[in-house]
Chain A
Amino acid sequence: MSNFLIYLGIVAWGVACWLGLAFVTVPLALFAISAGLVYGAALTVGGYLQVYWGTEDGRILIRPDAESPRRPSAPYPHWDDAWPSYLSGQVERDIMAAAAWPLRQAHGLWAQGIDMAMSNGLILLALLPLAPAPFVFLVGVSAGTYGGWAALAAAIEAVTAISRGARLSAIGVLRAADSVARWWHGAAVTCPACRYVAWLPGYQCDQDENDTGEDDTSKCDTIHHDLRPGRLGVWIHRCRCGKALPTTIRRAGRALTPVCSNCDGPLYEQAGLAPDARIALSGGRGVGKTLLLMRAATELTSRSRLAPWEPGDDRTAAWLRHARQLLRQWPRFGPEPTEEPALLTFRRNVCGRQCYLYTADLDGRHFGSDKDNPALWQLGVTRRHLLVLDATVVPRVRDRIGLGASGATPRPAWTETSVATAERPYRLLVAQLGRLGARPHKCSLALVVTKADILARHGAGPDGLGLRAWLRSVELHNLVMAAEHDFGRVRYFLVGKGQENPAEPFEWLLSQYPHGAARP
């Protein structure tokens, strides 16, 4: 009897299950999966809103990082200490973080469901037609979470893609406008202290730390090396301290203090926009570089000129006073041999715009050896070169000077050695340019023959002959040919006391490359 009852119960349970499956399970499962999808989608929306509320910021925020590396071709190896703009990666971090909370909730539901199923196996078996509903609900929650997150991520990316396109266009336009203005003016950034020629001027943040709520009143003083529109912002960069810094050199130059990216020293106003010329003097020892520079500087700063140059700093002013004093005493007292390079800065105002001229008088002993010489690094940062040549060391000239007294014929060996000596500074100049990565064919060379007064006194000068032809006639044809082959533009000058204008080579070099890149 009892067996019969058990059998009857099993049959009744089977029939109930069959009816349940036929009339309850499917509608219930469809309802459960719909509810799960809606719940999962609601969780996803909650996840996004939590992130946008800032609850995940401690973990996901891209903060200013001055150690963050840039690509190798960038002008500076690290990013500035400023906040990256929202479209520079933060939007993706937000999207990824938005998945975290809803997925945690969905996984929690799964864990609870599995626990309940494991601990209530008999009940589950008894109510078998109802068992699929919780399962499909959980499947719906997971599908709704993942699907909702992916759909919202795609929608957000699509919207930000429009913003990114607009941002990229704005960056291109602003950078181009900045670069064209700098190219047109032949602008560069030369540090008056260390002579480093930077790609771009740095700018110092002048925000009072007090403004950020701290007690001390010191300045932020963070240096921003690259304020071009880009990853850190299009119209402004946001310093770590919170100050908004205008982008583009034109706008930054009006609001901030420009500083050297190498030594952090202050630069002149309009750095990076003002015409900025550097003239590198080359030449062996005792050829008259310092004397030429003193006379040329005196002439260039003469008040009688239409647009005279003036000393750009106190050091140059002191050097100029000393030069004028020496020139008044010359030739009784001449300049001492240069030991430390005299770094001179001149400036003048042309049509309301400041122009700057930098020149350095290097010790002639640096041009005596073919070895790579770090002291000559300044040769590689300018397109304007001035090579000083002492014509009296050229054998044929020396012979003509000496023939008046002795009439002797020079020895060939002595002749070769002396020509090589005369040409060595030029060879060294070209070799040094090659080592520094500069391209001589992008440069101008003023080849200045000094001591014209001595040549004239002995009748050994070019006289009616052109200077170029005269140089060729005194066995310097190799030098002439090499210079005209290597350099883009070459011009010859003859200077000496009472002969020619000593500033003429400088003026010619300054007239070269009024537009274009400042570095070779």
Chain B
Amino acid sequence: MTRLPGQGDLLPTGHVVARVLLAILVILLLVAALVLAYLLRSDELAFAERISDTFRSWLVP
């Protein structure tokens, strides 16, 4: 049994190990999403620019 920091409950070690692994997975996924967004930033900017231009063309003939 393992005590989680800040908690009174004793948890089975298997629970704690599983949660630590899943927390690492969550952080890795967040990092992966940020890296992906960084890699795609030029496409995203181009996409945003296209939307702005389209909208502007409606308002400013």
Chain A residues within 8 Å of chain B by Cβ, number: 36
B52 vs chain A, min Cβ distance (A): 5
B21 vs chain A, min Cβ distance (A): 8
A332 vs chain B, min Cβ distance (A): 68
Could you tell me the distance between the alpha carbons of A499 and B18 in the complex, rounded to whole angstroms?
A: 71
Q: CB distance A49 to B18 under 8 Å?
A: no
B25 vs chain A, min Cβ distance (A): 6
Could you tell me the distance between the alpha carbons of A233 and B15 in the complex, rounded to whole angstroms?
A: 11
B-chain residues with CB within 8 Å of residue A152 when the two chains form the complex: 26, 29
Q: CB distance A54 to B11 under 8 Å?
A: yes
> Which chain B residue has the least Cβ–Cβ distance from A235?
B14
A-chain residues with CB within 8 Å of residue B51 when the two chains form the complex: 26, 30
> Which chain A residue has the least Cβ–Cβ distance from B48?
A30
A77: Cβ under 8 A from any B Cβ: no
Could you tell me the distance between the alpha carbons of A61 and B19 in the complex, rounded to whole angstroms?
A: 13
B40: Cβ under 8 A from any A Cβ: no
A-chain residues with CB within 8 Å of residue B44 when the two chains form the complex: 34
> Which chain B residue has the least Cβ–Cβ distance from A90?
B15
Known contacts being A18-B59, A27-B48, A48-B23, is A54 close to B29, with CB within 8 Å?
A: no
Q: CB-defined interface of A90-110 with B at 8 Å, one 1/0 digit per residue?
A: 110010000000000000000
B-chain residues with CB within 8 Å of residue A159 when the two chains form the complex: 22, 25
B-chain residues with CB within 8 Å of residue A85 when the two chains form the complex: 12, 14
Could you tell me the distance between the alpha carbons of A54 and B44 in the complex, rounded to whole angstroms?
A: 37
Q: CB distance B52 to A27 under 8 Å?
A: yes
B36: Cβ under 8 A from any A Cβ: no
Q: Using a CB-CB cutoff of 8 Å, which residues 3-61 of chain B contact chain A?
A: 4-7, 9-12, 14-15, 18-20, 22-23, 25-27, 29-30, 33, 44, 48, 51-52, 55-56, 59-60
B-chain residues with CB within 8 Å of residue A57 when the two chains form the complex: 4, 7, 9, 11
Which 10 residue pairs spanning A and B have beta carbons closest together? A54-B4, A22-B59, A242-B1, A52-B23, A86-B18, A52-B19, A54-B7, A26-B55, A238-B12, A30-B48
